[in-house]
């Protein structure tokens, strides 16, 4: 006889007060939803900025009355200045990279799903979990404050009282003009460096430093939870690939965010304490010598930033890879192809991500020998990425695919990840990067492989786990319309971006009409803008579907997708302590689909009876540690 599959444990009652239950909650599920709502708020700001950027590029010099009203200094008469455009670029990138692509996949879905998938009642440190969200939220507010500190004269005057250089505001921009990378010495000099470089940069640095602290708290919690709180029978090789992705992401965050935090503190000291970590001697700005600085290295900031910056790419994309693997297997009704290879590929991608930061600096004058080393390491990341891609295709091959909305977004993730990844092989070669580095080719590459792919992973996860989180289904018709318009839209935006890059169109320029060699490309610029507006507009349908379905969606069963992992063994939405005081025991791997001789086409991880899984099936199918003997 099989041993009992569950033990009864003490059941924790939910908190009674509204504030403890929904605001300062210690429940990982509520905190996960808070992270998701924060990302949904941040992405609205980021998308609006991208639309404003496209409008300025397509119709330069146009008078937009509302812009003149809101930003009379940065857009006098409703015409956006070049500095205003650059501040949009900076704040768009910062908002999307930190408060959307980093926040939602890991803090949102990871917080909500990981403890349930490993059979835990909560995260290891619930109070630390709550703190990680609220620290992140404060960082978000500080970044928003940077917009008002530079964009509003009254608010800017308040900050100017704190210091004429590092805190000067009211320049009319919507923050810094230094890009989301904030390259020194531009970002280290203060107001003298240009509009937005006073309070805009200072608040940017403080915001990102706060964000780093919140991310470190979360990373410690994820690692401890996964290593110490797995339920009985949940060996490492029985974990869903989502858990491996969140774990690897947490390790990346733990190792990379301290470097950015340290660099940010040094940059802040250069601005307010007169140090010279990143400011060299003999620096001239607008014909005037910058006094009292010597010995700093602007390249030091690039090394510190990109040592964080390239792992950040994988912090954004790895959770999407995990969710995609999980969803593809579920709706292909097949075990994931090569489970163990997928696990090792996730770790290989994460590890190699720490050795390739130099490819962002090929233009910095580094030694050709160093450039060759970074180039070889960069191209080597294509190996584990290709393993994952071919295993995704192997999972789909010959399958009876259920084309649900989450499945469509998971397949879309594979498509845009491959499309963006191929251009990474181009940019990883120094001779080609010299030409493409400052063009729209790079913009297209990182938007596809980091931005769009990650967001497709988020959409897939949202449609997939929404029934578990809220007990209701999202509308399939609206979901599929959302997918197809978004899928076609992102290719209509970023494929032309590649063409623009090959034409030599420089990124971060606010106006191309004055360049003779680019005048014939205006039709392409206009086409991209229309595609961007349509793509952004269809996201309103997603927002409606999301919030409408919370209250009016069709009631979901406990396991509407006929999936196998632990979150689908409990009610929807889950009780406060997840398993209602019953400790689950795991007997199978996470992807037991289409097992020969089974009464159904799937076997739950907790099923002790029924079909004995053929010995060795886990090895041949790559399903990781199934075939529990009983």
Which residues share a beta bridge with 555? Answer: 472
Tokens of 211: 């964000």
Query: What is the overall mean pLDDT for the chain?
Result: 92
CA distances from residue 461 to 212, 308, 498 in whole angstroms, order as listed? 25, 26, 29
Contact between residue 84 and residue 172 where contact means Cβ atoms under 8 Å apart: yes
Q: Which of 301, 431, 426, 305 is nearest to 362 (CA)?
A: 431
Q: What is the mean pLDDT of residues 396-401?
A: 95
DSSP for 345-376?
A: HHHHHHHHGGG-GGGGGGGGT--HHHHHHHHH
pLDDT at 292 (0 to 100): 87
- Token pair belonging to 199: 């309070």
Helix (H, G, I), strand (E, B) or coil at 285: strand
Cis peptide, bond prior to residue 17, ω within 30 of zero: no
pLDDT value of residue 353 = 95
Mean pLDDT of 9-27: 80
Question: pLDDT-based confidence at 4, cuts 50/70/90?
Answer: very low
Residue with tokens 């799937």: 602
pLDDT band at 12 (very low <50, low <70, confident <90, very high): low
- Quick one: pLDDT at residue 90? 97
- CA–CA gap between residue 585 and residue 604 (Å, rounded): 11
Q: How many residues does the chain have?
A: 630
Where residue 514 falls among pLDDT bands split at 50, 70, 90? confident
Mean pLDDT of 483-493: 98
625 has pLDDT over 90: no
| Percent share of the chain, pLDDT over 90 | 87
- For residue 271, CA distances in Å to 120, 149, 294, 586 come to 46, 17, 14, 55
Residue 491's pLDDT is 98
Task: Indicate whether 619 pLDDT > 90.
Answer: no
- pLDDT value at residue 281: 92
Is there a cis peptide before residue 324, judged by omega within 30 degrees of 0? no
Q: Which of 47-56, 399-408, 600-609 has the lowest mean pLDDT?
A: 600-609
> Is the pLDDT score of 297 beyond 80?
yes
pLDDT at residue 1 is higher than 70: no
pLDDT for the residue 34: 98
Distance CA 491, CA 484 (A): 11
Domains of the chain in start order, with CATH, are: 25-280+292-296 (1.20.210.10), 329-553 (1.20.210.10)
Write the pLDDT tens digit of every residue in 556-610. 999 999 999 999 999 999 999 999 888 999 999 999 999 888 888 999 999 986 5
Q: Is the pLDDT of residue 256 over 60?
A: yes
- What local confidence, expressed as pLDDT, does residue 201 receive? 97
Q: What distance in Å separates the CA atoms of residue 404 and residue 560, rounded to the nearest whole number? A: 11
Contact assessment for residue 247 and residue 142, using Cβ atoms and an 8 Å cutoff: no
> pLDDT of 363-391, one tens digit each?
999 999 999 999 999 999 999 999 999 99
Q: What are phi and psi of 73, to 5 degrees?
A: -85, -45
Mean pLDDT confidence for 405-425: 97
Nearest to 395 by CA among 463, 496, 321, 473: 321
Mean pLDDT across 343-354: 96
Mean pLDDT of the 100-119 span = 97
Give 14's pLDDT tier (boundaries 50, 70, 90).
Answer: confident
Q: For residue 210, with 0-12 CB atoms within 10 Å meaning exposed, 13-18 middle and 19 or more buried, which class applies?
A: buried
Write out the H or E segment, with its range, that includes residue 583: strand 582-584
Kindly state the tokens that stand for 111: 């917080």
Q: What share of the chain is helix, strand, coil (3-state, %, to 5)?
A: 65, 5, 35
Instruction: Look at residue 626 in the predicted model and tell me its pLDDT.
Output: 42
Q: Band of the pLDDT at 622, cuts 50, 70, 90?
A: very low
Residue 8 forms beta bridges with which residues? Answer: 582
Q: Write out the H or E segment, with its range, that includes residue 284.
A: strand 284-285
* Res 240 pLDDT > 50: yes
563, 592 contact by CB (below 8 A): no
Find the radius of gyration of the CA atoms of the chain. Answer: 25
């Amino acid at each position: 006889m099989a041993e009992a599959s569950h033990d009864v444990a003490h059941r924790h009652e939910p908190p009674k007060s509204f504030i403890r239950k929904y605001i300062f909650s210690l429940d990982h599920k509520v905190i996960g939803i808070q992270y998701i709502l924060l990302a949904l708020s941040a992405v609205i700001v980021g998308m609006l900025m991208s639309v404003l950027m496209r409008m300025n590029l397509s119709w330069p010099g146009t008078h937009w009355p509302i812009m003149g009203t809101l930003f009379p200094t940065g857009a006098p008469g409703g015409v956006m200045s070049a500095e205003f455009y650059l501040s949009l670029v900076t704040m768009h990138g910062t908002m999307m990279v930190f408060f959307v692509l980093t926040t939602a996949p890991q803090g949102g879905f990871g917080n909500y799903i990981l403890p349930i998938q490993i059979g835990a009642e909560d995260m290891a440190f619930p109070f630390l979990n709550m703190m990680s969200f609220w620290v992140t939220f404060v960082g978000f507010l500080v970044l928003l404050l940077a917009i008002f500190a530079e964009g509003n004269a009254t608010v800017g005057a308040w900050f100017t009282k704190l210091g004429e250089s590092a805190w000067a505001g009211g320049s009319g921009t919507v923050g810094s003009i230094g890009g989301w990378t904030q390259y020194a010495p531009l970002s280290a000099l203060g107001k003298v460096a240009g509009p937005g470089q006073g309070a805009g940069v200072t608040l940017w640095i403080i915001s990102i430093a706060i964000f780093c602290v919140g991310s470190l708290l979360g990373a410690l919690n994820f690692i401890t939870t996964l290593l110490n709180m797995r339920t009985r029978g949940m060996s490492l090789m029985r974990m869903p690939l989502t858990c491996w992705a969140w774990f690897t992401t947490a390790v990346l965050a733990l190792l990379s965010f301290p470097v950015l935090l340290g660099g940010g503190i040094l940059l802040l000291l250069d601005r307010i304490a007169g140090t010279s970590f990143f400011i060299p001697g003999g620096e001239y700005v607008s014909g005037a010598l910058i006094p009292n600085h010597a010995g700093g290295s602007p390249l030091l900031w690039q090394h510190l930033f990109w040592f964080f910056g390239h792992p950040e790419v994988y912090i954004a994309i790895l959770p999407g890879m995990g969710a995609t693997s999980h969803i593809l297997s579920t709706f292909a009704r097949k075990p994931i192809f090569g489970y163990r290879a997928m696990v090792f590929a996730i770790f290989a991608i994460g590890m190699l991500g720490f050795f390739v930061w130099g490819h962002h600096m090929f233009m910095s004058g580094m030694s050709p020998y160093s450039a060759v080393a970074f180039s070889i390491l960069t191209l080597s990341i294509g190996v584990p990425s290709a393993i994952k891609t071919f295993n995704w295709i192997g999972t789909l091959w010959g399958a009876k695919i259920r084309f649900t909305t989450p499945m469509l977004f998971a397949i879309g993730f594979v498509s845009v990840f491959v499309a963006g990844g191929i251009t990474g092989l181009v940019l990883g070669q120094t001779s080609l990067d010299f030409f493409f580095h400052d063009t729209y080719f790079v913009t297209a590459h990182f938007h596809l492989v980091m931005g769009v792919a990650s967001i497709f992973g988020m959409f897939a996860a949202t449609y997939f786990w929404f029934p578990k989180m809220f007990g209701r289904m999202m509308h399939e018709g609206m979901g599929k319309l959302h997918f197809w318009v978004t899928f076609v839209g992102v290719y209509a935006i970023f494929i032309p971006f590649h063409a623009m890059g090959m034409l030599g169109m420089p990124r971060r320029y606010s106006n191309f009409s004055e360049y003779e060699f680019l005048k014939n490309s205006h039709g392409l610029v206009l086409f991209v803008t229309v595609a961007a507006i349509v793509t952004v507009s269809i996201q309103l349908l997603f927002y409606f579907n999301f919030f409408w379905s919370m209250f009016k969606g069709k009631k979901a069963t406990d396991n509407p997708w006929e999936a196998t992992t632990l979150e689908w063994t409990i009610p929807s939405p889950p009780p406060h302590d997840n398993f209602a005081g019953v400790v689950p025991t795991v007997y199978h791997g996470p992807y037991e689909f289409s097992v020969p001789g089974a009464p159904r086409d799937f076997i739950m991880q907790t099923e002790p009876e029924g079909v004995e899984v053929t010995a060795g099936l886990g090895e041949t199918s790559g399903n990781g540690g199934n075939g529990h003997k009983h």
